[in-house]
A and B are shown apart, each in its own frame.
Chain A
Amino acid sequence: MSIQYGEPDMAGSYGVADSFPKDFGYGGDEAGIDDDSSASADTQPRILLMGLRRSGKSSIQKVVFHKMSPNETLFLESTNKIHKDDLSGSSFVNFQIWDFPGQVDFFDPTFDDEMIFTGTGALIFVIDAQDDYVEALGRLHGTVSRAYRVNPHINFEVFIHKVDGLSDDHKMETQRDVYQRANDDLADVGLEKLHLSFYLTSIYDHSIFEAFSKVVQKLLPQLPTLENLLNIFISHSGIEKAFLFDMVSKIYIATDSSAVDMQSYELCCDMIDVVIDISCIYGPIEDGGAYDKESLAIIKLNNTTVLYLKEVTRFLAVVCVLREESFERKGLIDYNFHCFRKAVHEVFEVGCRTPRNGGRPDDSLTSSTSTTSSSSTTRALNHRNYASHNGSMM
């Protein structure tokens, strides 16, 4: 329990708003992350985006991480060199997105697969579903088997992309077909253990964000802890659904364990847009950023639903969907959120202090760290007595 670390920060964060150093959102934990990332940019886990040319890799990257409107992606030039996009400065997703040009040749001797695949956490292979994907499958097979030989810990994710143009039946058929062929190819060369995950995505709806969320969540050793925290938070506050959002990319890095309904997710995404836009217009100019410590938004919809957004860390915010009658106990929610926020900070603090070993998020060391942190925060939460519905804290 990092009282000595957390408490002053919390006090600062809750008391005086303007006393923050500009460079770092808040105290030592964030600074630690930043230092770490800048020092070891090459060793932190990477997400690689690969696929045939014109399959939509750059579009995905631009839409998800650079807020490009999907329609504008039509005018993107084709990528002809590896585009390294380091998001550690702006987004919680502490990974690098390497956007590969479609025509990269792995058999080129200058192609250093050791270097590339060693630090890679996830490899996203993009297949254009509207095109003939036989060639793409061949490339997928080559890429994946090669990467697997170098680094078997990579998560292999296949985005069956541009499905917005397909009918529902056709989508399923395509997914089934791609799945079947890809796995048959792998089985032929004895790589049954290699697991491919498939997602149907499109940049014209939220499916790409959801798929990316899943990809990022898999690389996140703290995920179970965060999920438990959210579970506890919402069950004690009468909240229906809560997401922990990365504000920049609108991907959710954790949610409570109830099923994600696309509508609520889209609603929350839209809310983030609204909040960012409004604070861009009316926010204080000197801070520059549209999202800061004070960010808090409540939107009441006319169907007795309330959306509640509050800052958690410099990159993260909790967005909750709840009913109006639950929102009557706003003090309770605020208090519980306060506890939750503290716990999240502790979780990432622990994560910071343990030495990172790049590219292997499922490594025993990291996961054990996360479990300890989990149990400790859970204990902390129990200690601090989440005020519950009928609790006495009110």
Chain B
Amino acid sequence: MEKMSRVSTALGGGGGGAVSGRTMFCHLDAPANAISVCRDASQVVVAGRNIFKIYALEDDQFVEKLNLRVGRKPSLNFSCADVMWHQMEENLLATAATNGAVVTWNLGKPSRNKQDQLFTEHKRTVNKVCFHPSEVHMLLSGSQDGFMKCFDLRKKESVSTFSGQSESVRDVQFSMKEYFTFAASFENGNVQLWDIRRPDRYERMFTAHNGPVFCCDWHPDDRGWLATGGRDKMVKVWDMSTTRAKEIHCVQTIASVARVKWRPERKWHLATCSMMVDHNIYVWDVRRPFIPFATFEEHKDVTTGIAWRHQHDPYFLLSGSKDSTLYQHMFKDASRPVDKANPEGLCFGLFGDLAFAAKESLISSEANRKPYPGGDRRYPIFFFKKPDLTEQFAHVSSALSVFETGLESGRMDWFSRTARRYLLCGKPFAELCDHNAKVAKELNRPQVSTTWTMVRIMFSDPANPNLSAKLGTLPLMNSFSMKDMGACPDMGACPDMGACPAERGKEGRSDAAHLEPGTSHISNNDDNEETEGSDGQAEYMFGDAELDDDDLYSVEHDNPAEDQEYTLPQEAFPLRHEILDNPSAPEPLQQDKAESPHVSGGEAEATCLTPIESCSLISATQPLYSAHLPAGFFCPVVRDMLRYYAEQGDVQMAVSVLIVLGERIRKEIDDLTQEHWYTSYIDLLQRFELWNVSNEVIKLSTCGAISCLNQTSTTLHVNCSNCKRPMSNRGWVCDRCHQCASVCAVCHHVVKGLFVWCQGCSHGGHLEHMMHWLKSSPHCPAGCGHLCEYT
């Protein structure tokens, strides 16, 4: 005892300087099962099924000192599952054999065979041997057969047997501080505490793990802490000083824990290695259980044995592995996962809340500098971790902020409200656009609103001067600022839009460049001739546009008759006239404009343009371009715009514009895409239970696949009113009773159209006839005496 303390103080004073070395390894002949270090940290013994050797630890290499596996034919007693070097007596070793033998070895023996004693009391494999830390002759073994035996090395057989009640013992460890106590861990998940003097019954038992407990280790200081590791991949630290074992720390590893060893001189640290899968050795700080403090990654196969080189030196770790190597790891060479770990975490909640965790220093400075963009409310919550005292493990305090998004942004209210209020048909095109733009604006979606305005401007019929003058003056002005072609190149560089706007801008310009005025004129004429009864107007229009291209408004004023023309075909189709309109900005400009309120930071020049500036631009640029623009000029732009919206997830916008624009744009987009948009939008609408809107969309859709949706699931059964049988064919006469089925009760003619009938007596007839009749009499016109009611 004295000697030991002397050594330890010497070492402790040196602070690790007494033992020097580097990370090194040597090849063993066979896989190692266990290693153990001698007391003065100068030698290490390696034991395995086919190996049992002692190596000396020199400064930069391992030197094989002794092979204890001697004899021509090694007996099974050499097949070691565990080995322990006595910490008091430096010549004394004990091994546990897979055949159940416990063998002690005396290195002081002069002969080649150093085997000292052989105990063959266990019937099954002995998993663990353990010397008493301060008693020279006391050896404890734990075996697969469920028994622990205590041997006095001066006697030939065991002095006492402890029965773990038929569960296999995986580990036994004498307590560091309590002389008589030892802990045993079992395959059924239990840990037992025994008093060495009382072999009849354990002192205490508790269930530590779910599944086998493979290892346990007492804390080297006197706190009564016991660390256990099990197949459930946990390392748990128990406080045994209280009456009831209390779990105080728990570390979750990634594989079942085979060995656990407290790190000397470090109160909170322990080293673990795993049994399968994972080959690394981890050193954990139990207070920070989510990331290893240090990792040793040298081994190529499962690490089977770990030992700190000296019991007062935390910087040297020895390990043996199945890959037949023996390593000495230097702590300074360990990899620190915490350095590589990303200290920021970001996560979205179910309702759009955002949680962000980052290093405290980082977040505090950031919070002052930049508020949450667009966030009207901000509720940061701060959690501080306890600062770590050891300087090696970096200060780990981090802050978590939770940003709650406004209720509106998380919800889809805008969707259903927009869907309900949008007008898709029934009004002139320009009015529809303006209405929708207004709706979008009211719902605080400026981008969409502007898009509608743009669409109107691009495609609108110049015959609606009142409307455009009334509703759209300012937006018009804004958009005119965009149509400045000079701004286009700038837009390509706009950071928020990325590549798309650049493309669109390019396309628009190239179109303008390639199309000769003459050819476009002809093609547009052809188109217009196909449309019903508008040839003349279209030609006139076109010519007009060519003539009056310098004054947009005059063009619009010149066509008052157009108004009438457009209201007619609304139901069947949206407007079909492709009329050259005033040129306006390519779409992306609009989007940029619309988005700019959201985006803080530098923007392209386009946003800087004030209406006044742009007004001045109108006059400069408009005459140059508007004359040469054919009807289809904007179609690629609009098509890209629709695609953009659809990709952004706003399929509502895509479909609405598609419907409102109708023929103007339909040909630009292939049917499958359209169908896809339609189905998505209808699906969304139905999920929001907007049946009416969805029905309207179905009705207005020009896709065959969509418009037949309404027909597929609707079945109409017609029964004869006389014989109550189903009417088989389509005639008006029931083929069973040979009578006209739906005869008006008033005029006795067959009703071919709206048939209204009383639900009480099922008599009815023409709508007007019934209305008239019931105004004058409350009784049924058929004379059945029922008092019908018309509401």
A197-B166, A198-B188, A218-B166 known; A231 vs B276 contact (CB < 8 Å): no
Residues of chain A contacted by B211 (CB below 8 angstroms): 262
Tell me whether A168 and B276 are in contact (CB under 8 A). Answer: no
Within the assembled complex, what's the spacing in Å between the Cα atoms of A389 and B209?
37
* CB neighbors of A among B225-267 (8 A): 231-232, 256, 258
Interface contact A231-B98, CB-CB below 8 Å: yes
Over the window 174-202 of chain A, the binary record of Cβ atoms lying under 8 Å from chain B Cβ atoms (1 yes, 0 no) is 01100100000000000010010111100
Report the bound CA distance from A262 to B81 in whole Å.
20
The residue from A155, A259, A371 contacting B214, defined by CB atoms under 8 A apart: A259
Which residues of B have CB within 8 Å of A172? 207, 209-210
A252-279 interface code vs B (CB 8 A; 1 in, 0 out): 0000110111111000000000000000
In whole Å, how far is B328's beta carbon from the nearest beta carbon of chain A? 25
Closest chain A residue, CB of each to CB of B79: A235
Alpha-carbon distance A227/B123, docked complex (angstroms): 10
| A261 close to B207 (CB less than 8 A) | no
Kindly state whether residue B145 has any CB partner on chain A within 8 Å: yes
> Across the interface, do A171 and B165 meet the contact criterion of CB distance under 8 Å?
no
In the assembled complex, A232 has its CB within 8 A of some CB on chain B: yes
Does any Cβ of A come within 8 Å of B699's Cβ? no
Which residues of chain B in 104-137 are interfacial with respect to chain A, using CB atoms and an 8 Å cutoff?
123-125, 127
Instruction: Provide the residues of chain A in CB contact with B167, threshold 8 Å.
Output: 197
Majority secondary structure, A binding face? helix
**Cβ of A259 and Cβ of B99 under 8 Å apart?**
no
Expressed in whole angstroms, the Cα–Cα distance for A338 and B664 within the complex equals: 84
Q: Are A257 and B127 in contact (CB under 8 A)?
A: yes
B49's partner among A197, A199, A235 (CB-CB below 8 A) is A235
Chain B: which residue is nearest A210 at the CB level? Answer: B211
Proximity string of chain A (9-46) to chain B, C-beta cutoff 8 Å, 1 when within and 0 when not? 00000000000000000000000000000000000000
Q: What separation, in Å, do the CA atoms of A336 and B49 have in the docked complex?
A: 16
Q: Does A224 sit at the interface, judged by CB under 8 A? A: yes
User: Distance in Å from the Cβ of B191 to the closest Cβ of chain A?
Assistant: 12
Check A175 against B212 for contact (C-beta < 8 Å): no
Q: Give the shortest distance, in Å, between B134 (CB) and chain A (any CB).
A: 30
Contact A168 B166 (CB under 8 A): no
Produce 1/0 per residue, B129-150, CB < 8 A to A.
0000000000000001100000
A228–B206 alpha-carbon span in the complex (Å): 30
Cα distance, A217 to B206, chains bound together (Å):
24
A257 touches B125 (CB 8 A): yes
Q: A200 contacts which chain B residues (CB < 8 A)?
A: 210
- Roughly how many angstroms separate A223 CA and B127 CA in the complex, as a whole number? 16
- A259-B212 contact, Cβ under 8 Å, with A231-B99, A235-B79, A389-B50: yes
Residues of B within 8 A of A262 (CB): 211, 231, 256
- In the complex, which residues of chain B have a beta carbon less than 8 angstroms from the beta carbon of A389? 30, 50
Query: Closest residue of chain A to B302, judged by CB?
Result: A240
Q: Are A228 and B79 in contact, CB atoms less than 8 angstroms apart?
A: no
Given that A168-B232, A263-B276 are known contacts, is A257 also in contact with B206, CB under 8 Å in the complex? no
Known: A199-B188, A231-B79. A261 touches B256 (CB 8 A): yes
- In the complex with contacts A231-B99, A257-B125, A261-B231, A197-B79 CB distance below 8 A: no
Q: When the two chains form their complex, are residues A259 and B79 in contact, meaning their CB atoms are under 8 A apart?
A: no
B189 at interface (Cβ–Cβ under 8 A)? yes
A175 near B189 with CB under 8 A, answer yes
**Nearest chain B CB to A133 CB, angstrom units:** 16
The minimal Cβ–Cβ distance linking A235 to chain B, given in whole angstroms, is 4
Q: Flag if B50 contacts A235 (CB, 8 Å).
A: yes
Residues of A within 8 A of B355 (CB): none
The closest CB in chain B to the CB of A385 belongs to: B73
User: In chain A, what residue has the closest Cβ to B124?
Assistant: A224
Chain B contacts of A259 at CB under 8 A? 170, 187, 212, 214, 231, 256, 258, 275
Given that A172-B207, A176-B207, A261-B275 are known contacts, is A227 also in contact with B144, CB under 8 Å in the complex?
yes
Q: Which of B30, B49, B187, B214 has the most CB of A within 10 A?
A: B49
Name the A residues within 8 Å of B50 (CB-CB). 235, 388-389
CB distance from A195 to the nearest CB of B (A): 5
Please determine whether B144 and A257 come into contact, CB atoms closer than 8 angstroms. yes
Q: How far is it, in angstroms, between the C-alpha of A232 and the C-alpha of B81 when the chains are bound? A: 13
**Cβ-defined partner of B123 (8 Å) among A263, A264, A371:** A371
Whether B124 pairs with A171 at a CB distance below 8 angstroms is no
Q: Which residues from chain A contact B214 at a C-beta distance below 8 Å?
A: 259
B1 within 8 Å of A (CB atoms) = no
Return B163 CB to nearest CB of chain A, in Å.
Answer: 9
How far, in whole Å, are A232 and B206 apart by their CA atoms in the complex? 34
Cβ–Cβ < 8 Å partners of B277 in chain A: 263
CA distance A176 to B170 in the complex (A): 20
Q: Chain B, 78-102, contact with A by CB distance < 8 Å: what is the 0/1 string?
A: 0101000000000000000011100
Q: How far in angstroms is the closest Cβ of chain A from B233?
A: 10
Q: What chain A residues lie within 8 Å of B232 (beta carbons)?
A: 168
From known contacts A175-B207, A260-B212, infer whether A224 and B123 are also in contact, taking CB-CB under 8 Å.
yes
A371 CA / B256 CA spacing, docked (Å): 33
Contact with B along A350-393 (1 / 0, CB 8 A): 00000000000000000000010000001000000000110000
Instruction: Give chain B interface residues in 15-35, CB to chain A under 8 Å.
Output: 30
Q: Chain B residues near A218 (CB, 8 Å)?
A: 166
B145 contact set on A, CB distance < 8 A: 224
- Contact B210 A168, beta carbon cutoff 8 Å: yes
Q: Which of A179, A231, A259 has the most CB of B within 10 A?
A: A259
Docked CA distance A223–B123 (Å): 10
Chain B contacts for A371, CB-based, 8 A: 123
Residues 176-187 of B, flagged 1 when their CB comes within 8 A of A and 0 if not, give 000000000001
Q: Is the CB of B188 within 8 A of A197?
A: yes
Q: Tell me whether B394 is interfacial, beta carbon within 8 Å.
A: no
Task: Identify which of residues 693-710 in chain B touch chain A, using a CB-to-CB cut-off of 8 Å.
Answer: none
Q: Does B76 interact with chain A (Cβ within 8 Å)? A: yes
List residues of B whose CB falls within 8 A of some A CB: 30, 49-50, 76, 79, 81, 98-100, 123-125, 127, 144-145, 165-167, 170, 187-189, 201, 206-207, 209-212, 214, 231-232, 256, 258, 275-277
Residue numbers of A with Cβ under 8 A of B are 155, 168, 171-172, 175-176, 179, 192, 195, 197-200, 214, 218, 223-224, 227-228, 231-232, 235, 256-257, 259-264, 371, 378, 388-389
Between A and B, 25 residue pairs with Cβ closer than 8 Å are A172-B207, A175-B207, A176-B207, A179-B207, A197-B167, A200-B210, A218-B166, A224-B100, A224-B123, A227-B124, A227-B125, A227-B144, A228-B99, A228-B100, A228-B124, A232-B76, A235-B50, A256-B98, A257-B124, A259-B212, A259-B231, A261-B275, A262-B211, A263-B276, A263-B277
Shortest 9 CB-CB distances between A and B: which pairs? A257-B125, A235-B49, A224-B123, A231-B98, A195-B165, A261-B276, A224-B124, A176-B207, A175-B207
